[in-house]
Chain A
Amino acid sequence: MTDSNPNVASNGHGVAVAFQDMHRWYGPVHALNGLSIDIAPGELIALLGPSGCGKTTALRALGGLDDVDQGRILVDGKDITNVPTNKRNMGIVFQAYSLFPNMTARDNVAYGLRLRGIDAAARKRKADETLELVGLGQQAGRYPHQMSGGQQQRVALARALAIEPKVLLLDEPLSALDAKVRRQLREEIRRIQIMIGITTLFVTHDQEEALAMGDRVGVMSAGRLEQIGPPSELYDRPKTRFVAEFVGLTNRIAATAQGGTVNVLGMAVPLLEGSDQSGPVDALVRPENVRLTPTDDGDARVAAVSFLGSLCRAQVTLPDETLVVAQMSASDARGLYPGAAVRVSVEPAPVFAVAA
């Protein structure tokens, strides 16, 4: 599958990247199975998938840290498949803390500049500027063991950006951080990425992160790209069963498909492309598309209600004992409590269906 997004605005610093039919075997494991992606200059692509799906292998191949057995990698139109890592000029932020423990934050950031023969004064100036960019101007003299995990990853980002790389590669850089720091840092990374306009490949297994950060999100499974597209498209119009089940929360509700529509809880809704089109199916319905109406003659029962701030999530047991999750605004959840009788229906939004 090849796809590109020409609509991403670039400020001129970004370069185009292309994976062309890449294959990688680790013994019997086919880690990359014909992966092809075109990344537009300045675009941020998030690769999403479960562990072992090949997303990190793809990133490491682009960074030159792993070889590919077949296929090509083009950066700015040039084939870099066989160029060694240290000649690729890629900035990489790793999942594990990767700052050099024997160097201060400033020395870490200046390391790549030193290798490029930049004189000491210019190195220091550039390192300080880059640390300022990630909000750590005051921490330049600290060693990694004197910084928190979030600060270390910011320094790692500054180190990767200081060399003015062609492409920025982020290999699950937030996965070791706590939830609040993750959110702060991902917004900061996105802000800086847009400001610099650098082409970025971001690998994560966190859907929220991928959907929040990516211009486009690529979902991978077993070394293949299942679907790539803008986050809303991926969420609303999944093209494969894997994407429909993997991205976002989904209810599986027994239904009957016929002639491009599916009858779910008494409502005929259109089927998405790629769905099973006839016979008994499981309709994959998003929680926000499930509607609950409190009524004394309702045949479903509320099992639990979770308060999520501005939203509420209710678990409801259908007469056939199927458990369905519904999501609504907190104000719409008034009247819902465990044991309450409700009537369940679905919004007429298109759904994906898989054979039951």
Chain B
Amino acid sequence: MSGLPATQMGAPAPEGGALIVAPKGGGQRQRMTRGQSIARVAILVVVLGYLILPLFAMLEFSTRGDFGSRSLDAFAAILGKQDLIDSLTTTLQIAVLTVVGMLLLLVPTMVWTIVRVPRMRRVIEFLCLLPLAIPAIVLVVGIAPIYRFMGQNFGKIGASPLTLALIDIVLVLPFAYRAIDASLRSIDTATLADAARSLGAGWVGTIVQVIMPNIRAGILSASVLAIALVLGEYTISSLLSFNTLQVVIVVLGKQDPFISVAVSFSALIFGFVLLVVIARVGAARRTNRQVEEPAV
């Protein structure tokens, strides 16, 4: 097999092809110069500093005790603030509703678009990205009358802060669309859906049993982004006078800055841990499917 400088033909593959063997010694790793190494470390330090320094400052501030001592009183006090606990509970409920609502709205719509009306894909993408271009204050001005109407006509449910999930679903669309779209593009969605339907699956079965398990990474990313958005959303909640976590933190900050910063710090750590847990769950499920034998 002359004339194959980059690769060598290996053993015959089981079905008549040939396995490609990576050339030994080929593609030697470029040696980094000392200057490049220093620049790399410097960039890493600057980025980590940018991310960690505010967290460190928050931790330092929120653990200040009397006479220069350290204290966890601000963190302990969180548990005693009922309005804080209530707002956290409400915010988490909104987060769950937002994730569920976003997935129910987006996944079937995107799958249907790909399978049945692919020419509408651009339109759906444009609609989903639209909230990025609309300032929150404009959204509130537009949506406030609807909330007023719901409050007046749908009793407790209409006036509940949980209705914020409706607007949070809209706000998270641009990010969730991108995450799910990337996953849908990584599989042949249309063919998988056709195959499932030809075998007897309905649309719900096709989406739940075939499509969703194969875009789990995108769904997890979209969910994390939705949770992060809800945990950090302040403007709309405040303008619509709902007591969510961020609103209560701001109010609290005016009364007791130590507790306010402790809550903010805890919320950040909570979000980070959530992100890691979700990422690890996704990775663990992928690993379970790996088999050590090579593909043939």
Residues of chain A at the chain B interface (Cβ within 8 Å): 63-65, 85-92, 94, 96-102, 111-112, 115-116, 142-143, 145-148, 150-151, 156, 159-160, 163, 178, 180-181, 184
Contacts and interface: CB of A to CB of B under 8 A. Distances in A.
B161 to A, nearest CB: 37
B22 to A, nearest CB: 19
B200 interface: yes
A143 B200 contact: no
Given A85-B197, A178-B17, 20 more contacts: A65-B197, A85-B198, A86-B198, A86-B201, A86-B202, A91-B198, A94-B191, A100-B192, A100-B195, A102-B210, A111-B201, A115-B200, A145-B295, A148-B13, A148-B15, A163-B199, A163-B200, A180-B16, A181-B16, A181-B17
Nearest to B194: A65
Contact of B200 (A98, A116, A148, A178): A116
12 contacts: A96-B188, A96-B191, A100-B192, A100-B196, A100-B210, A102-B213, A111-B201, A147-B296, A148-B15, A148-B295, A151-B15, A163-B199
B296 A146 contact: yes
Nearest to B18: A178
B52 to A, nearest CB: 38
B188 A97 contact: yes
B191 to A, nearest CB: 5
B199 A112 contact: yes
Nearest to B289: A143
A102 B296 CA distance: 18
A252 to B, nearest CB: 36
B194 A94 contact: yes
B214 A115 contact: no
A310 B197 CA distance: 46
A85 B196 CA distance: 10
Contact of B188 (A85, A98, A160, A178): A98
**For chain B, which range describes its interface: under 10, 10 to 19, 20 to 34, or 35 or more residues?**
20 to 34
Interface in B140-198: 187-188, 191-192, 194-198
B25 to A, nearest CB: 28
Nearest to A63: B198
A64 B296 CA distance: 34
User: Which of A85, A89, A143, A181 has its CB near the most chain B CB atoms (within 10 A)?
Assistant: A85
A216 B4 CA distance: 43
Contacts of B213: 100, 102
B291 interface: yes
Contact of A147 (B188, B202, B214, B295): B295
A63 B198 CA distance: 7
B16 A178 contact: yes
B195 A94 contact: yes
Interface of B: 13-17, 187-188, 191-192, 194-202, 205, 209-210, 213-214, 289, 291, 293, 295-296
Contacts of A159: 195, 199
Contact of A101 (B17, B194, B197, B214): B214
B199 A115 contact: yes
B200 A92 contact: no
Contacts of A151: 15, 296
A111 B210 CA distance: 10
Contacts of B187: 101
A115 to B, nearest CB: 4
A86 B204 CA distance: 12
Contacts of A150: 15
Contacts of A143: 289, 291
A65 B198 contact: yes
A99 B196 CA distance: 9
Contacts of B214: 100-102
B198 A102 contact: no
Contacts of A90: 198
Residue of B192, B197, B199 with highest tally of chain A CB at under 10 A: B199
A257 B284 CA distance: 75
A150 B16 CA distance: 10
Contacts of A148: 13-15, 17, 295-296
A198 to B, nearest CB: 15
A82 to B, nearest CB: 15
Contacts of B16: 178, 180-181, 184
Contacts of A102: 210, 213-214, 289
B47 to A, nearest CB: 35
B198 A146 contact: no
Contact of A98 (B192, B291, B296): B192
B209 to A, nearest CB: 8
Contacts of A98: 188, 191-192, 194-195
Nearest to A112: B199
Nearest to A183: B16
A115 B209 CA distance: 11
Contact of A86 (B200, B210, B295): B200
B295 A92 contact: no
B96 to A, nearest CB: 25
A228 to B, nearest CB: 25
A115 B199 CA distance: 8
Given A102-B214, A181-B16, A142 B196 contact: no
